[in-house]
Amino acid sequence: MVDVTGQQELYDFSNQEINVAGYRIKLVKKKKELELPSFQVRLNDFVVIVKEIKAPQWTPKSTLEEKPSWKHIEALLPSADPNMEMWFSPYYSFEDSGKTHRIRFWLVGPNVNCRFHNHVTDNPKFKELHYQLRGSGFMEIKGGRVEEMTKPGDTHTPFYTEKDGKLTYPVHRYVSGPKGSLFMVIEELV
């Protein structure tokens, strides 16, 4: 399957689990209180459950060996440094209350500056939040606030703003900690 830009792999997430770096990520319909996982992301009708299933000696390299379908950042950004330790998974998508959501995982080596960017030219437009899974890092708005993400489930306040149906993003970046990082991004397409 291919997303609307025709450039990236997209998998239906509504009927499967994703196992990555010792975590099981699962989408469930909200019905009742769920067992306590490592953390939950509550959406409208669904909950994304992230549960640690093993605690291996984790490194970015061990995750890459586990998931050979990961691609280097150059596949998205040809001008990226070929030595940059930054990889991404395919997208996993699902519908929630009539809105399309996508999940993607990012694997980043130690102390990597993922570059300042915004999403002004992205098509389709989306709202995003980042969730720390392994390692640590921080999100930063250029010239503004910094939000640490040091343990599984840590996230940041939304960077985007919506006014009169228009979505805007400040210039922002993620920087990984000294042991590298694995984080999950959940995007809601608008």
Q: Is residue 37 part of a domain?
A: no
Could you tell me the residue range of the domain that residue 127 belongs to? 10-15+56-189
Q: Is residue 184 part of a domain?
A: yes
Q: Is residue 47 part of a domain?
A: no
- The domain total for the chain is 1
**Which contacts qualify for 89-93: CB closer than 8 Å, 24 or more apart?**
89/20, 90/8, 90/9, 90/10, 90/11, 91/3, 91/8, 91/9, 91/10, 91/11, 92/10, 92/11, 92/12, 92/13, 92/18, 93/3, 93/10, 93/11, 93/12, 93/13
pLDDT, mean over the chain: 78
Q: Is residue 84 part of a domain?
A: yes
| Averaged pLDDT, 88-109 | 87
Please name which of 14, 43, 19 lies closest in space to residue 30, comparing C-alpha atoms: 43
pLDDT in tens, 115-135: 888 877 777 888 888 999 888
Are 185 and 159 within 8 A, CB to CB? no
Q: Is residue 32 part of a domain?
A: no
Amino acid 93: pLDDT: 85
pLDDT in tens, 163-175: 888 888 889 999 9
pLDDT in tens, 11-69: 556 656 767 766 677 776 655 444 545 667 777 667 777 776 665 566 667 666 666 67
Verdict on whether the full-model pTM lies above 0.85: no
Q: Is residue 39 part of a domain?
A: no
Task: Supply the CATH number for residue 80's domain.
Answer: 2.60.120.990
Q: Is residue 159 part of a domain?
A: yes
Q: Is residue 26 part of a domain?
A: no
Amino acid at 8: Q
